[in-house]
């Protein structure tokens, strides 16, 4: 059970932290326990931690501010072991060096500074720059799997969702070079379609009807009805495509023979 003075002190510090946030740090107390705080450190630019989001906890004793808190980190980071207390002069690892004048803001500032440093300490780990960068890249996705993190830091969840959406849209976009490659064959297909249409038009044009003047000439010579002339006189044209171009071949019937045959049938 926290002492009354402890609760008042932490409430006051939270209000102060909301008015003047620590750069690259977000911290909030648990809704059900003011002695348990949750924080997120944002990796500083120019360091292997750049782009990383490191989630952890601060556990204050009921006697705070007269006794120091315990500090741990949940997100794999390449600097400290996870779920283990971090050795700091501002943590319960060194109660002899604790100063009651220190606040949550000063604790978070010291933690961020110490994380960006390479000084060994109890709970620290040795990793390469590449390993730290890889962990930084995966940190937000790791944090968003934690229900408490999602509940307390919804702004980071939104950031993660936005990143996922941006990556998805980028993956769906067609590269400029590939787009050009696709447009070239499509252009050729369009030209082929136009060529086929031209063939169809030529086929229609070459389907000639029986000339009217010839029909009257036949009527005057043979004395046959007009309908018979139209029925017997036909000109058929076949058009087909060669690879080298268009070739037209017309097959004509024996007009005179057809007319004579038709005349005999009628008479």
Chain centroid offset of residue 201 CA: 47
SS3 assignment, position 28: strand
Shared-domain flag, residues 199 and 160:
no
Shared-domain flag, residues 51 and 147:
yes
Domain boundary among 172, 204, 229: 172
Residue 184 has what pLDDT?
60
Shared-domain flag, residues 149 and 122:
yes
**Residue 215: pLDDT band with limits 50, 70, 90:** low
Span 69-112, pLDDT tens digits: 999 999 999 999 999 999 999 999 999 999 999 999 999 999 99
Shared-domain flag, residues 164 and 248:
no
Q: Phi and psi (nearest 5°) for 80? A: -125, 150
For residues 97 and 198, the model is more confident at 97
CA distances from 159 to 53, 93, 262, 264 (A): 11, 34, 89, 94
Residue 230 has what pLDDT?
45
Shared-domain flag, residues 39 and 166:
yes
The structure's pTM equals 0.65
SS3 assignment, position 250: strand
SS3 assignment, position 55: strand
Which residues form the domain of 92? 4-172
The token pair that represents 36 in the structure block: 């348990």
How many domains in the chain? 2
Q: For residues 69 and 37, what is the distance between their CA atoms, to the nearest angstrom?
A: 10
Q: Which residues contact 86 (CB under 8 A, 6 or more apart)?
A: 71, 72, 73, 80, 93, 111, 114, 121, 122, 123
Shared-domain flag, residues 10 and 58:
yes
Q: Which residues are catalytic?
A: 87
């Amino acid at each position: 059970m926290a002492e009354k003075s402890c609760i008042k002190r932490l409430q006051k510090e939270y209000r102060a932290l909301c008015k003047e946030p620590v750069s690259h740090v977000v911290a909030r107390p648990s809704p059900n326990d003011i002695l348990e705080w949750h924080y997120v450190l944002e990796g500083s630019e120019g360091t292997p931690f750049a782009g990383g989001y490191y989630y952890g906890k601060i556990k204050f004793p009921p006697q705070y501010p007269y006794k120091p808190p315990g500090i741990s980190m949940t997100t794999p980071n390449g600097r400290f072991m996870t779920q283990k207390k971090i050795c700091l002069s501002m943590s319960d690892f060194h109660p002899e060096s604790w100063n009651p004048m220190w606040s949550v803001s000063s604790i978070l500032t010291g933690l961020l500074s110490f994380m960006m440093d390479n000084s060994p300490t109890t709970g620290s780990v040795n990793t390469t720059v590449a390993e730290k960068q890889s962990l930084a890249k995966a940190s937000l996705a790791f944090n968003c799997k934690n229900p408490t993190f999602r509940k307390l830091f919804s702004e980071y969840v939104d950031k993660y969702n936005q990143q996922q959406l941006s990556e998805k849209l980028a993956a769906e976009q067609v590269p400029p070079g590939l787009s050009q490659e696709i447009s070239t064959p499509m252009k050729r297909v369009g030209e082929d379609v136009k060529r086929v249409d031209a063939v169809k038009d030529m086929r229609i044009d070459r389907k000639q009807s029986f000339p009217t003047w010839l029909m009257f000439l036949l009527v005057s010579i043979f004395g046959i009805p007009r309908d018979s002339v139209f029925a017997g006189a036909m000109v058929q044209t076949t058009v087909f495509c060669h690879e080298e171009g268009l070739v037209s071949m017309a097959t004509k019937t024996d007009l005179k023979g057809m007319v004579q045959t038709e005349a005999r049938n009628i008479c």
